[in-house]
A and B are shown apart, each in its own frame.
Chain A
Amino acid sequence: MKLYDIAHSRAGDKGNTLTLSLIPYSPADYDMLQREITAERVAAHLATSVRGEIRRYEMPRIHALLFVCEGALDGGVTTSLAADTHGKCMSGVLLDMEIGGGGARE
């Protein structure tokens, strides 16, 4: 199973920092994501793209996680040489992550 099967995500950018939300379709999956999808696991998954620190914020009231990835955007939108200077495609890369077990399907 991939994260894509149970959650959705939106990427954003601030300077050289990439932000990735991770929102389960079913709130019942929040606890599992909170337990399993640590900043370390996301860092390992994004290792070829994200060079800096990754911080994770928990948003239990809306059942969502937020990953803030430093140094992820080749200097940022204004001077990056990447095709996707904003890193907007990285939400899809996050959702490609393999996870074990089954989520609470809708």
Chain B
Amino acid sequence: MQTIRIGGGAGFSGDRLEPAVLLAQEGNLDYLVLECLAERTIALAQRRKLQDPDAGFDPLLERRMEALLPVITAKGVRLISNFGAANPVAAARKIGQIARRLGLSIRVAAVTGDDVLDRISPSMSAMETGRPLSEYGQLVSANAYLGIDALLPALQTGAEVIVTGRVADPSLVLAPLVHAFGWSSTDYATLGQGTVIGHLLECGAQICGGYFMDGDRKQIPDPANLGFPIAEVTEDGSATITKISGTGGRIDLRTAKEQLLYEVVDPHAYLTPDVAADFTTVRLEETGADTVSVTGGTGARRPDRLKVSVGYRAGFRGEGEISYAGPGAEDRARLAGDIVATRLNGCLDRLRVDIIGIDSVHFGPGGEAKSREARVRVSGSSADEGTAARVGEEVEALYTNGPYGGGGARKSVTEMIGIVSVLMDRRLIHPSVDIFTA
């Protein structure tokens, strides 16, 4: 039976580069998929594009492609990535330039159509809150989640590299499977199983022991040298997840279960543009060392409306931190936080004081043991950048105006781009493909 091998070469924009190169070199792959686009990443990229029409793709794209292009062209591996972010066309041109510089001949397909900012109306309501978009700050981006119907025409061109903007993460893996096996776009059971495979690959090392290690029971071999995953998929959709032998990490039932449920809000209906996938029917089985078989995923009809991530200006976040140590460290940290909050005197929209190591995660009162060191963190938001900056300024001023022994003050101000979601009739969304040759 025909099988396809797909590598998961990145799990987020800043992911490690070397494991993907190794996958391309030694993974005997048909496809290498790089998932590089979080919800807010695209809004930030959109702002870079506004300042420079040739910008707006992933900042690591050049480094990734310089390392990968010679390998994928030599090995005949096709690369699919959403690292086009807000500007897949500029990304495709850049990849063409890199190929020419390296003396390589390739075709790059740019998938566009996810940018739907011109079809957003202020009366649309945010899924998260039910409130209309008009109640949020100035809108800066709106990107629909595209699916396999946007990717398949690009695959049919034969292009070696396919670069997209916003695409549902599992669709990056499902599309080459549908392309290779000719699965019907209404065979929702098989599309659901393919979506499970995509979900397991989309976070790179997270199924290989990354984001997993803990104590004796969750040890993995050679963690500094974590390998990235490969899915070997047969025509009926059954798959095994494995990795290159000799790399660090582990693939077993535990790592697979953690990744199967990661970021899932309804395992009966994991919604993508392609299918409502059912994860509750999935069967996992250890079939060898670092090898887990995945079967049984299924699904129901795809949604008529697609999710659109809308980015808006959400003001500025000001932060400041300072440490205390020795007897009474925690009490001094709390006193420092109280002093800063008093000095800021209600000028921030929101203000929060945490003692790192004590209550920054739990929110509530911590345990009874007093810590030998404590770091107070003050964070506040404001529509005005200068007002947000006052948070860090007041924390830094604790050096000479606060409890004894404060050290290591840091301060920062960042603009916040908030993200909310709306639903849009998929008939209003028109993906297209442009080919660039190098």
Measured between beta carbons, the chain B residues less than 8 angstroms from A19 are 261-265
Minimal Cβ-Cβ distance residue in B for A51: B363
Measured between beta carbons, the chain A residues less than 8 angstroms from B263 are 12-14, 19
Q: Measured between alpha carbons, how far is A15 from B259 in the docked complex, in Å?
A: 18
A23 & B362 in contact (Cβ 8 Å cutoff): no
**Quick one: CB contact mask for A85-103 with B, threshold 8 Å, 1 for yes?**
0000110110000000000
Asked if B128 lies at the interface with its beta carbon under 8 angstroms from chain A, I say: yes
B262 & A81 in contact (Cβ 8 Å cutoff): no
* Size category, B interface: 35 or more
Report which of A21, A48, A78 forms a contact with B362, defined as CB distance below 8 A: A48
- Tell me whether A79 and B362 are in contact in the complex, defined as CB-CB below 8 angstroms, given that A19-B264, A66-B264 are known contacts: no
A77 & B257 in contact (Cβ 8 Å cutoff): no
**Quick one: CB contact mask for A17-57 with B, threshold 8 Å, 1 for yes?**
10101010100000000000000000000011100000001
- Least Cβ–Cβ distance between A45 and chain B, in angstroms: 11
Asked if B333 lies at the interface with its beta carbon under 8 angstroms from chain A, I say: no
- Least Cβ–Cβ distance between A66 and chain B, in angstroms: 5
Measured between beta carbons, the chain B residues less than 8 angstroms from A25 are 217, 254
B257 & A78 in contact (Cβ 8 Å cutoff): no
Asked if A1 lies at the interface with its beta carbon under 8 angstroms from chain B, I say: no
Measured between beta carbons, the chain A residues less than 8 angstroms from B266 are 57, 68
- Tell me whether A82 and B352 are in contact in the complex, defined as CB-CB below 8 angstroms, given that A17-B265, A89-B361 are known contacts: yes
Asked if B402 lies at the interface with its beta carbon under 8 angstroms from chain A, I say: no
Q: Measured between alpha carbons, how far is A25 from B419 in the docked complex, in Å?
A: 37
A81 & B417 in contact (Cβ 8 Å cutoff): no
Asked if A3 lies at the interface with its beta carbon under 8 angstroms from chain B, I say: no
Asked if B341 lies at the interface with its beta carbon under 8 angstroms from chain A, I say: no
Q: Measured between alpha carbons, how far is A76 from B377 in the docked complex, in Å?
A: 19
Measured between beta carbons, the chain A residues less than 8 angstroms from B421 are 15
Measured between beta carbons, the chain B residues less than 8 angstroms from A106 are 217
Most buried by A among B128, B259, B417: B128
A48 & B364 in contact (Cβ 8 Å cutoff): yes
Q: Measured between alpha carbons, how far is A63 from B280 in the docked complex, in Å?
A: 10
Q: Measured between alpha carbons, how far is A92 from B217 in the docked complex, in Å?
A: 15
- Tell me whether A16 and B261 are in contact in the complex, defined as CB-CB below 8 angstroms, given that A25-B217, A78-B417, A81-B379 are known contacts: no
A12 & B314 in contact (Cβ 8 Å cutoff): no
Measured between beta carbons, the chain A residues less than 8 angstroms from B100 are none
A12 & B264 in contact (Cβ 8 Å cutoff): yes
Measured between beta carbons, the chain A residues less than 8 angstroms from B314 are 78-79
Q: Measured between alpha carbons, how far is A23 from B43 in the docked complex, in Å?
A: 35
- Least Cβ–Cβ distance between A78 and chain B, in angstroms: 5
Q: Measured between alpha carbons, how far is A15 from B253 in the docked complex, in Å?
A: 28
- Least Cβ–Cβ distance between A21 and chain B, in angstroms: 4
Q: Measured between alpha carbons, how far is A81 from B128 in the docked complex, in Å?
A: 18
- Least Cβ–Cβ distance between B141 and chain A, in angstroms: 12
- Tell me whether A59 and B254 are in contact in the complex, defined as CB-CB below 8 angstroms, given that A12-B264, A76-B419, A79-B418 are known contacts: no
Q: Measured between alpha carbons, how far is A9 from B283 in the docked complex, in Å?
A: 19
Asked if B282 lies at the interface with its beta carbon under 8 angstroms from chain A, I say: yes
Q: Measured between alpha carbons, how far is A93 from B362 in the docked complex, in Å?
A: 7
- Least Cβ–Cβ distance between B254 and chain A, in angstroms: 7
- Least Cβ–Cβ distance between A25 and chain B, in angstroms: 7
- Tell me whether A8 and B261 are in contact in the complex, defined as CB-CB below 8 angstroms, given that A76-B419, A82-B360 are known contacts: no
A62 & B361 in contact (Cβ 8 Å cutoff): no
- Tell me whether A61 and B265 are in contact in the complex, defined as CB-CB below 8 angstroms, given that A79-B314, A84-B360 are known contacts: no
Asked if B40 lies at the interface with its beta carbon under 8 angstroms from chain A, I say: yes
Measured between beta carbons, the chain B residues less than 8 angstroms from A23 are 254, 257-258, 261
A79 & B267 in contact (Cβ 8 Å cutoff): no
A83 & B361 in contact (Cβ 8 Å cutoff): yes
Q: Measured between alpha carbons, how far is A75 from B317 in the docked complex, in Å?
A: 13
- Tell me whether A10 and B261 are in contact in the complex, defined as CB-CB below 8 angstroms, given that A81-B350, A83-B356 are known contacts: yes
Report which of B218, B350, B380 forms a contact with A8, defined as CB distance below 8 A: B218
B268 & A57 in contact (Cβ 8 Å cutoff): yes
Instruction: Give chain B interface residues in 272-294, CB to chain A under 8 Å.
Output: 279-284
List 9 A-B pairs, minimum CB-CB distance, nearest first: A48-B364, A12-B263, A21-B261, A10-B258, A81-B379, A48-B363, A89-B361, A83-B360, A81-B352
Q: A23-B258, A66-B267 are in contact. List 20 more A-B contacts (CB 8 A).
A: A10-B212, A10-B259, A12-B262, A14-B265, A15-B420, A19-B264, A25-B217, A49-B363, A57-B268, A78-B418, A78-B419, A79-B314, A81-B351, A81-B379, A81-B381, A82-B352, A82-B354, A83-B356, A89-B361, A90-B361
Which residues of chain B have a CB within 8 Å of any CB of chain A? 39-40, 43, 128, 211-212, 214, 217-218, 253-254, 257-268, 279-284, 296, 314, 317, 350-352, 354, 356, 360-364, 377, 379-381, 416-421
